[in-house]
Chains A and B, each alone.
Chain A
Amino acid sequence: MQALTVLYDPDCGLCRRAHEWLAEQSKIVELKFMPCASDEARKRYPQLDHDLTKKDLTVVDDLGRVYFGPKGWLMVLWALVRYRDWSYRLAAPELLPTTKRVVSMISQNRYQISKATGLNR
């Protein structure tokens, strides 16, 4: 695997902050960023359900494997030198349900969180 494409929500402050943080991290696998449901994304992934990518973070690798939501986040962590260990830990059967719950909660409330923490432009 050479690169992961991250389809993120450009309207959410938290996501933009996460994007900045990711840009600074050293990576094992390259991360490319694309606003979700943009023309660019529709052109690159003509068969993908783009309405679904607006609901939750989506990660696609260069072979077309799609990871939605919490799995997408785990793939992003896996791409980072410092957090690859953590991606395996959080994906372990004992922790995966909790990981999914926490990530979904943050994801669903991302606009409120952005507002509360002053991350909205």
Chain B
Amino acid sequence: MTIGISTYLIYLSISIALTIWVARTLHKNGRVFLVDVFHGNEALADSVNHLLVVGFYLINFGYVTLALKLGYAVTSAEQSIEALSVKVGMVLLVLGGMHFFNLFIFSRMRRRSHVHPNNYPPVTPDTFTAVNQEA
């Protein structure tokens, strides 16, 4: 096995392992949020959670696959490590971005589902007046 092919294989295994780890974290910890968003409807929360994780996998594996090509020949271990640092670093940044994007979606859904309990008016009245209810 050439050093180039080992670089690709190492890249793939690190990226796949990282993606799976982040997706599992999201799946495990996002559930609580979603159950709250859907007011305790656990079946719906699990379903949405699963769909989100599938999307997460698709986007990340898609990126990992597209970014595989190095574009130059790797001849030494030093070059291989450098190439890996760039590629894995990019995967980490994409994962991080996706992760925050997911958190943003969770918090937005949560905020939306909690709009109506606010029943107090936004401002205090300027004055009071009598109301003739018959008129």
Inter-subunit contact A66/B135 (CB<8 Å): no
Interface residues of A in 67-121 (CB under 8 A from B): 67-68, 71, 74-75, 77-78, 84-85, 87-88, 90-91, 96
Q: Is B129 engaged at the interface, CB distance under 8 Å to the other chain? A: yes
- B122 engages A87 (CB within 8 Å): yes
Count contacts on B: residues with CB < 8 A to the other chain.
15
Query: A79 — nearest CB in chain B belongs to which residue?
Result: B121
Residue from B115, B118, B122, B131 in contact with A63 in the complex, judged by beta carbons closer than 8 Å: B131
| Count of CB-CB pairs between chains A and B under 8 Å | 60
What is the total number of residues of chain A having a CB less than 8 Å from a CB of chain B?
Answer: 30
For A67, list chain B residues within 8 Å (CB). 123, 125-126
- Which residues of chain A are within 8 angstroms of B122 by Cβ–Cβ distance? 74-75, 77-78, 87-88, 90-91
B13 at interface by CB-CB < 8 Å = no
CA distance A40 to B132 in the complex (A): 11
Indicate whether A64 sits within 8 Å of B130 (C-beta atoms), given known contacts A43-B135, A44-B135. Answer: yes
**Shortest distance in angstroms between A32's beta carbon and chain B's nearest beta carbon?**
12
Can you list 29 pairs linking A and B with CB atoms under 8 Å apart? A1-B121, A40-B135, A43-B132, A44-B132, A44-B135, A45-B130, A47-B129, A48-B129, A60-B131, A61-B125, A64-B128, A64-B130, A65-B128, A66-B126, A66-B128, A66-B129, A67-B126, A68-B126, A71-B123, A71-B125, A71-B126, A74-B122, A74-B123, A75-B121, A84-B115, A84-B118, A87-B122, A90-B122, A91-B122
